[in-house]
Amino acid sequence: MNLPPLSQAFVLHFGEMGSRWGINRTVGQIYAVLFLAERALNADEICERTGFSRSNVSMGLKELQSWNLVRLQHRPGDRRDYFATPDDLWAIVRTLVAERKKREVDPTLSVLRELLMQPAATEADAHAQARMREMHELIELLTSWYAEMERMETDRLVQLLSLGARVGQVLEFKDRLFGAVTRKREPDDGARPRPTDEEA
Amino acid sequence: MNLPPLSQAFVLHFGEMGSRWGINRTVGQIYAVLFLAERALNADEICERTGFSRSNVSMGLKELQSWNLVRLQHRPGDRRDYFATPDDLWAIVRTLVAERKKREVDPTLSVLRELLMQPAATEADAHAQARMREMHELIELLTSWYAEMERMETDRLVQLLSLGARVGQVLEFKDRLFGAVTRKREPDDGARPRPTDEEA
DNA sequence: TTGTAATTTCAAAAATTCCTGAAACTCCAG
DNA sequence: CTGGAGTTTCAGGAATTTTTGAAATTACAA
């Protein structure tokens, strides 16, 4: 590994963390190197900085591309591929979240939907299905919220995040102005605290 | 594996997903079994339902306990430990998020803080530090937002989530009312779109 | 105490994933 | 075409993780 000390510490850490996320050490380190780099790097430069073999780097870059986490660039008069991360960190976060959702929650959602279609044969299956239905509803709520955040402009998103729990106060304020409209909904409409609710 | 068909499909799927998350197949399946179970189960019952060896189940349960994802129970006149997941799905989501944060983002945050304290020796380190600072700020924003959501009651949280992007409209409304106040801030205060910002 | 049921630990086998060098492939300039 | 720079694929060795059975430990009843 051939990097200035601070960068090296960061890259090493990202390698470790890589294994806690779905990606592996190699991929984590490669990404960290690109993230810190002051310009796009070609595969050999990445080899030099990380100390990984050429083929390992190639694999890692392919993986990162499949995650849409790196951008491919070219230089005039140079046939080599150059790789870079987006400058805008929010863009990175957005693709990261999108990809993790695609890999970690979407498959579960579709399995749940499928299993909820099936008729419950046994008593135990009926209970299991009730439990799955709860999970399905919760995930639906979270993903549809996410879908709306995703659509939002970064500035506004940041504004919302900075506001934090104070959004609650803004809401209360709104309620006070337009109270009648909001209060019309059932109070437990979204919360659904009852655990078993067999409307099979 | 000894389970009714629908449950079996669910448990198998959770096993697969387990490996995409930090946990492994065994732990994923054990958790799924407990999640679907109509009552708390002891280790032998989990063995029977999953088909894993007794010791493997013991390991898995220990892991789940370290994640705070299972609750230990006892029956009068029975020395065995019984395990269950919380009935309230929101409680599960809360601990899941809390634990993942603890394992996946907190360590990074502290490494970043540490590296940002160091003086940048080289030119390259200075650039790397600027990049790290961006990342640090973004993670801080996200985690402090999370901390506030965490503190919120489930009902209110669900209300907020259901509202989705309509919160944005409330913001717009607020802006229109108090426009002058909000506009006083620097326009790029939170977003920080400029990539290089060397204030080392 | 002693005996026994329940659980945990541990070393090593089994399975999986990672990493590499060599070979194959692609693409372009001459 | 041919040569060669750049890249990818791939089989198999290295490293890591998972899983297990046997042994050790714990906790309690008699």
Establish if A122 touches chain B: CB-CB under 8 angstroms.
yes
- Which residue is closest to D5 in terms of CA–C1' distance? A79
Q: Which pLDDT does position B105 carry in this prediction?
A: 94
Interface test with B, best of A1, A7, A92 (most B CBs within 10 A): A7
Q: Do B128 and A10 touch (CB under 8 A)?
A: yes
Annotate chain B with three-state secondary structure.
Answer: CCCCHHHHHHHHHHHHHHHHCCCCHHHHHHHHHHHHCCCCEEHHHHHHHHCCCHHHHHHHHHHHHHCCCCEEEEECCEEEEEEECCCCHHHHHHHHHHHHHHHHHHHHHHHHHHHHHCCCCCHHHHHHHHHHHHHHHHHHHHHHHHHHHHHCCHHHHHHHHHHCCHHHHHHHHHHHHHHHHHHCCCCCCCCCCCCCCCCC
Is the model's pLDDT at A182 over the cut of 50? no
Distance A72 CA to C23 C1' (A): 26
Establish if B1 touches chain A: CB-CB under 8 angstroms.
no
Q: Which residues of chain B have pLDDT under 70?
A: 178-200
Q: Which pLDDT does position A20 carry in this prediction?
A: 83
Amino acid at A160: L
Is the model's pLDDT at A173 over the cut of 90? no
Q: Is the CB atom of residue B58 positioned under 7 angstroms from any atom of strand C?
A: yes
Q: Once rounded to an integer, what is the mean pLDDT over residues A57-71?
A: 95
Q: Would you identify the CATH topology of the domain B5-84?
A: Arc Repressor Mutant, subunit A (1.10.10)
Is the model's pLDDT at A199 over the cut of 70? no
Q: Which pLDDT does position B179 carry in this prediction?
A: 59
Q: Which nucleotide is nearest to B53 (CA to C1')?
A: D20
Least-confidence region, from A100-109, A180-189, B36-45? A180-189
Is the model's pLDDT at A197 over the cut of 50? no
Answer left, alpha or beta for residue B175, where phi above 0 means left and psi between -120 and 50 means alpha.
Answer: alpha
Split at pLDDT 50, 70, 90, the class of A178 is low
A4-41 pLDDT, tens digit per residue, is 999 999 999 999 998 888 789 999 999 999 999 999 99
Task: Tell me which chain A residues have a C-beta less than 8 angstroms from the C-beta of B173.
Answer: 174
Tokens 């996410």, located at residue: A146
Q: Which pLDDT does position A190 carry in this prediction?
A: 38
Split at pLDDT 50, 70, 90, the class of A179 is low
Q: Which pLDDT does position A101 carry in this prediction?
A: 94
Residues carrying CATH 1.10.10.10, chain A:
5-84
Q: Which pLDDT does position B191 carry in this prediction?
A: 39
Residue A5 three-state SS = helix
Q: Which pLDDT does position A185 carry in this prediction?
A: 43
Alpha carbon of B143 to those of A43, A63, B139, B149: distances in Å?
Answer: 34, 28, 6, 10
Q: Structure tokens of B137?
A: 């700020």
Distance B76 CA to C1 C1' (A): 26
